[in-house]
A = this chain, B = another copy of it.
Amino acid sequence: MLHICSRLLGGGAVLCLRTSRSHTGPAPVRWFSVGRPSHGPQDYSLPNATWSRNTRDLYDKYEELSKTGGWRRIKSYNSSVHHMSDQPPVGDRVTRLFTRNIDQDGLGFEYCMFYNVAEKRMVCIFQPGPYLEGPPGYTHGGCIATMLDSTLGAIAVYVYGHVMTANLNINYRNPIPLGCTVLVDGHLEKLDGRKVFTRGQIRSYDDRTVHTEATGLFITLNCPDEGGSAD
């Protein structure tokens, strides 16, 4: 929803004073820590042994395209706030980014994003694991919405910096089997003041099937002239 993560996408450290308030009022403010502060956080956008041949092929394709400067791989961590200067209080609970909340490789969201600055286009190579099931054998619709929110939101972050999701409109055309490889392909459609309009598709690895189509509207939390981390 909120994508206050431009520094995260850029790979920089983020310090955060978290205010975890309930609906009835604010809870005590507290520091918290996630990731592996002593060694730096793990980058989950890199291939692992559970990636299929198709997933790896698409990754290699965009890595190759990155050599010419048109594309760049986006690092991915398992928390919105991936390391802190302070240690967390003993017994404090650790939060986890929704899309990286399963420790074992291959069971959940396996994905990697690449951004094209000139085209203001983000692609996300996505291989849904068996823990993302909706109907038997197929990816849950909410999981698909999650990858669209993440990919389209990342475009808005790169254009504007801090943004908030205002609307997602998703048309589900063909179900996505668990374990397959799909490409979430999103681009900036237009800017209108603080509004960032984006559009995207999810297609099969071979481009033969359109699984999902969507639009995403994001509202910048910055002044429009501040820009994002990749412009």
**Chain A interfacial positions (CB closer than 8 Å to B):** 1-5, 16, 18-24, 27, 52, 54, 79-81, 93-99, 101-102, 107-108, 130-150, 153, 164-172, 175-182, 204-206, 208-209
Contacts and interface: CB of A to CB of B under 8 A. Distances in A.
Given A19-B137, A134-B98, A144 B205 contact: no
Given A21-B177, A147-B142, A130 B16 contact: no
A89 to B, nearest CB: 14
Contact of A23 (B3, B164, B182): B182
A41 to B, nearest CB: 14
25 contacts: A1-B138, A2-B135, A16-B136, A18-B137, A20-B177, A22-B54, A23-B177, A23-B181, A79-B133, A80-B136, A81-B136, A93-B130, A97-B140, A98-B143, A99-B140, A101-B102, A141-B149, A141-B165, A142-B143, A142-B147, A164-B175, A167-B170, A168-B169, A169-B169, A170-B170
